[in-house]
Structure 1
Amino acid sequence: MVKQTHTYSTSQRGMTLVDVVVGTAIMLMVFLGLFGAFKLSIELVFSTKAKTGAVFLVGEKLEHIRLLAYDSVGTVGGIPQGSIPQTEEVVLNGIPYTIRTLIQYVDDPADGLGEEDENGIVADYKRVKVEATWSIKESIRSTSVLSDIAPVGVESVSGGGTLKVNVFNAQASAVAQATVRIVNNTLNPIVDVSAQTNDSGSISFPGALEGSEYEITVSKAGYSTARTYATDAGNPNPSPGHVAVISGQTSAMSFGIDQLSSLLVSTFEPIRDNSFSDSFIDTSKIAESSNTTVSEGDLMLASDEDGFIPFGYAFSNSVEPEYLHAWDEVRFSTDAPEGTVASIHLYYWDGEAYSLVPDSDVSNNSTGLLKSPVDISFLSTETYSDLQLYAGLESADSLVTARVLDWEITYEEGPLPLADVAFDIHGEKIIGSDSEEAPIYKFDESFVTGSAGERNISDIEWDTYVIGLPPSSPYALVERCPNTLVVTPNSNSSISLTVDTKTTHSLRAVVAFAGDPVSGATVTLSGAGGGTQTTSTCGQVYFSGLTSGDRTITINKTGFEPYSENVTVSGESSVSAILIPVE
């Protein structure tokens, strides 16, 4: 019998799972593409429909305005006045629109501008702007149209006067595209109109109705705001006050605005004495050691069954103050009986490891510091920001050990950040005076620093600012750096306030020349609690714990004439000294 063998080809089988998945994915991609195209076409149709409606509305509004008599072309609450609403809400084909209408007089340069106008009338014709805005998917769209409407016959202004506003910046340069808002609630109808300055930083409102109490506000995105102020109980003498318009005359006002800035105020405690010390009660202040031990309040050689080990060493913990101001001294006490050695050395972190401070900076450091205390006040805090003490102990007699009784590194630390300090700040720009003729400042605020001893004041305008502590503060001002704070436009300024616990009587002295602080000047104050101090980099010194009464302050600095002044100390007193250079 012959066996028959059957072979089946896999190509005759049905679709595999992979085929189904791939096919489905392809169909899905095609479907999504068609859906996206369909959705886009729908949005395009809607957008075109909305734009067409907007064009129709602004055209219809403009045609309506053109049909009006020239003297009637104006807006409700605008300049010139009229019956046309400044803002209207309209729904067309189910789409809501906002229609805004702005009408202004225009001074045509053909017959001269301003005071050089040939016929003295700066309102040559009216310019109408109609704008429609609408929303598509939270995106604001707009379209607008401009048209000039001229009077029939000779140009004229139907009553009223002209209100002109000039806007400049801190450098007295023109500010273009600044928004000028004019409001007068005493007229009927009420005036409320806004427009933007031209490239010369000016805008005129001819045809303004005669009246007083025109409120003017000038603003621009990212800029400070300037305005007029009402006369009231809080500001009986405003400057500038609201403006009056007289028929046939021009009332001109100028305002200064510029880019806003920020100011960082930091509060600190004064520089204080601090130290690292170890009297060897335990090993908690030992960073590394070999063949040494701490016992009975001493650092000594370790011992074994044969007695004290011949050599051992120990490193102290590192001394790296976060707010290091200056190093002071190394102090130590040792006991080295005959046949033993206790040598003390000073190490510093060089960026990779602890290394010996060179003998050129600390004498005899390589062989061992000779006598306590050792002056290290001249060490650079930048190079030597991290110090460490080292003790090497040796003994030629197994029955005797050298000992280190204690050691210490002293330094000045600070200023240290101080949290939750209240302070007052005001600028020098004045907006009026009170009933007692005391100035009312445009910016006059109170703040408190945060947990890091800082407070950032954003959106502050250019000015010269005075910062101090409120009378109720438990602190006294030790130093303000800089003493005079000038904030310029579009800047990030900073100032530090160093404060200390208030005493009954104190004196802060500020020493300067040509507006700059004088550092390194010797200041001597006579009387109890006085003494001699050296001015800081900010040119200031502070004497606390004084008694009240008359004293003499003398100041000396190489290159300047000696300065002397009689001062009366009472409460928190201060004195400013301007030095004169030697000729």
Structure 2
Amino acid sequence: MHSSVGERGATLLDAVVGTALMLIVFIGIVGAFRLTVMVVSNNKARAGAVALANERLEYIRSLSYSAIGTVGGIPAGTIPQTEPVSLNAVDYTRRTFVSYEDDPGDGIGGADSNGVTADFKAAKVTVSWTVRDGVHTITLITRISPPTGVEASVPGGTLSINVQDSLAAAIQSAQVRIINSSLTPNINLTTFTDAAGNATLIGAPAGAGYQVVATKAGYSSAQTYSASSTNTNPSPANLGVSLNQTTASTFAIDLISTKTIETYLPVTRATTTEPFTLDSGIASSTKITVAGGVARLTADAGAYPASGMFISTLVSTSSLVRWQEFSFVHLKPSGTNIFYRIYDANGTNLIPESQLPGNAAGFTTSPVNLSTVATSSYAALTVHATLTTSNASNTPSIDSWSISDDSGPSPLKNVALTLRGTKTIGSGPSGTLYKYDNQSLSSGASGSVTVNDLEFDSYTVGVAASTTRVISSACDPQPEALSANSTQTTRIYLSPYTTNSLLVDVKSAAGTTIPNASVRLFRASPAYSTTITSDSCGQSFFSGIAAGTGGSAYSIQVSATGFVTFDSATVNVSGTSRLSVILN
């Protein structure tokens, strides 16, 4: 017998489908087997953890009431706070925490009916282990009452620690570490806050020097500080505990944040000039001759044509911010004229009247304001010049033309920077000590540096003394508040350092910056008068000026459309100076 081609194809397809189904079933069986093994292993490990926790609790119950405590704990004892334990080839970590507790049955704290807050001891044993799907933990807690059943006061006081976030909301499960090496036995323990953000330690031995550190995974930290040769006046200082008194302290922590600092050269004014020394600046022309540093009509047999024209090469710049002005120098004998028009990059479309009034008719008077031309539509320009004469013996001529623009900012590499917060930790011989004070940052090869793990605070970006530049503009005035759990980018613009300079920022009463404000700095003697329009950050930078203080101080006048003009005759300039002006 012979089988047909269709029958052979069907048989092959059946085999492929059957194999695929068997593979799926096999994978399912393997997955189920692995899951079963994992569950059995976890259950076995959990049983071991429970056994270890019970073992520790039974040991604690076997001790006398006064002996129940941990090494470095409150109350003190001989039980290790943390210890590695192996059981049935599983590695565990066993943690024991013992504390005095206040029974609400007879009142809490100051409301306790008999004045004894150390009503009983609580022992918490936590055992953790790691398997492939993560860390597992079990916790067992027991209560140990005084042997006579009668409460008795314990020597010492109470430490009451509250941990909250930047908005004063309670933080649960914050880690609180308490260290005091000046006491015997030493204290070195870790506890965690409850739902109200509190960690209370009853029976803390009386004495000074309790260092407290509060933190949480992914959060900042807050702590007390010891006095030292560099921090002679710590703040907050380590806590003290007095007999039968409560020492309370609050610590603020929150999720950490990230700050990126970018360094730039400021927006600069550039000018493109065509001097007509050659005809390289002309893309095309009709009846135009360039010679002797001028462009003029081309004479034919001693007579000049009625008109001629040329189109310039492309005028463009990188990082264009705005066009400024078009200017020209020309000579127009009697009966002659020159008309200038501004076109797009292709040289075919005239910039419309809506953006450049007078462009259609042609400009005859220099300079021409180009700041109204949108750079988003016209990132490059060309100049069309039409030369005319009604006298064949005369020709107009153009000596030069120029187009100025503002361009930038461009990244500035490898700038040595500083970053300082406003939170302090005390003071010493060198002055105020700041919690965060990084004096060795660099913007690197990209002109940018990112600082991670910053806590909520207000930070000031500065330029290291070793650099040869100074901040001439920053849209984010310093210091700048950094919120918890946020990402922030600060851009600063740097100019060459001069011995004396003044950075003026102009703001409204609402605190918003005011760009395009007119800022005039002047004085009579030694004579000085300069006006600088505030940039997009609302700032004007005066560099290379002489110092002026007291009787030789500068005057300033600041005006902006819609605001009352600001005047002051007492602007002191000495070194790198700064002035904030509020316009109403």
- Cα deviation for residue 238 of structure 1 reads 1.1
* 1:344 aligned residue (317, 340, 344): 340
After TM superposition, list the pairs within 5 Å mapping 1:411-450 onto structure 2. 411-435=405-429, 438-446=431-439, 447-450=441-444
Distance in 1 between the 2:95 and 2:112 partners?
A: 31
Which whole-Å deviations, capped at 9, do the CAs of 1:513-533 have from their partners, x for residues lacking one? 658366425332214473132
Give yes or no for contact 1:178–1:218 (8 Å, CA) kept in 2.
Answer: yes
- 1:308-327 aligned at under 5 Å gives the runs 314=311, 316-324=313-321, 326-327=322-323
Distance 2:305 2:42 in 1: 96
Question: Structure 1 residue 214: deviation in Å?
Answer: 1.6
**Matched residues in 2 for 1:410 and 1:478: separation?**
22
Residues 561, 310 of structure 1: alpha-carbon distance in 2 compared, 3 angstrom cutoff: closer
> 1:14–1:389: structure 2 CA closer, same or farther, 3 Å change rule?
closer
The match for 2:151 is: 155
Residues 1:541 and 2:533 aligned together: no
Shift of 1:386: 1.6
Worse-matched range after superposition: 335-344 or 242-251: 335-344
TM-score, reference length from structure 1: 0.82
Q: Which residue of 355, 359, 365 maps to 1:371?
A: 365
SS at match of 1:499: strand
SS of the aligned residue for 1:177 comes to coil
Structure 2: runs of 5+ lacking an equivalent: none
Match of 1:524 among 515, 518, 521: 521
Contact kept? 1:511, 1:540, Cα under 8 Å: yes
Q: 1:21 to 1:261 in 2, by over 3 A?
A: closer
Return the alpha-carbon distance in structure 2 between the equivalents of residues 561 and 400 of structure 1.
52
C-alpha distance 327-396 of structure 1, shift in aligned 2 (>3 A): closer
Letter in 2 for 1:328: Q
1:477 maps onto 2:478 in alignment: no
Does the aligned pair in 1 maintain the 2:159–2:202 contact within 8 Å?
yes
| Most deviating of 405-414 and 18-27 | 18-27
Q: How many residues align?
A: 564
Residue matched to 1:3: none
Out of 394-403 and 237-246, give the one that drifted further.
394-403
How far has the Cα of 1:441 moved from its partner? 0.9
Q: 2:97 aligns with which of 97, 102, 105?
A: 102
Shift in alpha-carbon separation, 1:375–1:59, aligned structure 2, 3 A:
same
Q: Could you tell me which amino acid in structure 2 is paired with residue 165 of structure 1?
A: I
Partner SS, residue 356 of structure 1: coil
1:391 matches 2:384: yes
Q: Counterpart of 2:241?
A: 245
Distance 1:48 1:353 in 2: 80
Of 431, 441, 466, the match for 2:460: 466
How far 1:69 moved relative to its partner?
A: 2.8
Partner residue in 2 for 1:565: 569
Structure-2 separation of matches of 1:510 and 1:461: 27
1:59-458 equivalence runs, <5 A: 59-137=54-132, 139-152=134-147, 153-279=149-275, 289=284, 314=311, 316-324=313-321, 326-332=322-328, 343-348=339-344, 355-377=349-371, 379=372, 381=374, 386-391=379-384, 406-435=400-429, 438-446=431-439, 447-458=441-452
Q: Which 10-residue stretch deviates more, 380-389 or 72-81?
A: 380-389
SS of equivalent residue, structure 1 residue 411: strand
Higher mean C-alpha deviation, range 410-419 or range 234-243: 410-419
Gaps of 5+ in 1: 1-7
Separation (CA, whole Å) in 1 of partners of 2:556 and 2:452: 39
My pick for the range that moved more, 485-494 or 336-345, is 336-345
- Which amino acid is the alignment partner of residue 372 of structure 1? S
Percent identical: 34
1:343-382 per-residue CA deviation (whole Å, 9 max, x = no partner) reads: 5321347xx99742222442331132223331223x1556
Q: Residue 555 of structure 1 corresponds to which residue in structure 2?
A: 556
Secondary structure of the corresponding residue to residue 85 of structure 2: strand
Shift of 1:219: 0.6
Q: Is the 8 A contact 2:288 2:309 kept in 1?
A: no
What do the CA deviations read for 1:83-125 (whole angstroms, capped 9, x no partner)? 2211122222222211112223333333333323323333333
Does the 8 A contact of 2:75 with 2:203 survive in 1? yes
Asked whether the 8 Å contact 2:157–2:241 carries over to 1, the reply is yes
The verdict on how the C-alpha distance between 1:102 and 1:411 changes in structure 2, with shifts beyond 3 A counting, is same
Moved more, 172-181 or 544-553: 544-553
- 2:568 maps to amino acid: S
AA paired with 1:530? Answer: Y
- Note if contact 2:555-2:571 (Cα within 8 Å) is conserved in structure 1: no
| In structure 2, distance between residues paired with 1:150 and 1:432 | 43
**Inter-CA distance 353–189: structure 2 relative to 1 (3 Å threshold):** farther
Question: Aligned in 2, Cα 1:46/1:301: closer, same or farther, shift over 3 Å?
Answer: farther
What amino acid does structure 2 have at the position aligned with 1:167? V
Secondary structure, aligned partner of 2:66: helix
Which residue pairs with 1:576 in the alignment?
579
Distance in 1 (alpha carbons) for counterparts of 2:279 and 2:109? 88
Q: Is this contact kept in 1: 2:389–2:396, CA < 8 A? A: no
Q: Which amino acid aligns with 1:443?
A: Y
The answer to whether the 8 Å contact 1:292/1:314 transfers is: no
Partner of 1:5: none
Q: CA 1:323–1:252 in 2, change beyond 3 Å: closer, same or farther? A: farther
Q: Is the 8 A contact 2:70 2:78 kept in 1?
A: yes
Report SS of the residue matched to 2:553. Answer: strand
* Structure 2 SS opposite 1:516: coil
Contact conserved, 1:263 with 1:456, CA < 8 A, in 2?
Answer: yes
Distance in 2 between the 1:342 and 1:69 partners?
110
Which of the residues 53, 62, 65 maps onto 1:58?
53
Q: Structure 1 residues 293, 380: closer, same or farther in 2, change over 3 A?
A: closer
- Does the aligned pair in 2 maintain the 1:393–1:402 contact within 8 Å? no
The residue that corresponds to 1:47 in the other structure is 42
TM-score norm. by structure 2 comes to: 0.82
Q: Report the secondary structure of 1:172's partner residue.
A: coil
Distance 1:554 1:249, change over 3 A: same
Offset of residue 432 of structure 1 = 0.9
Q: How far apart, CA to CA, are the structure 2 residues paired with 1:79 and 1:528?
A: 72
Change over 3 Å in CA distance of 1:363–1:225 after alignment to 2:
same
Alpha-carbon deviation of 1:243? 1.8
Q: Report if aligned partners of 1:363, 1:369 keep a CA contact under 8 Å in 2.
A: no
1:222 aligned counterpart, secondary structure: coil
Measured in 2, the distance between the counterparts of 1:285 and 1:375 equals 22
Structure-2 change in CA distance of 1:327 and 1:185 (3 Å): same
Shift of 1:289: 5.0
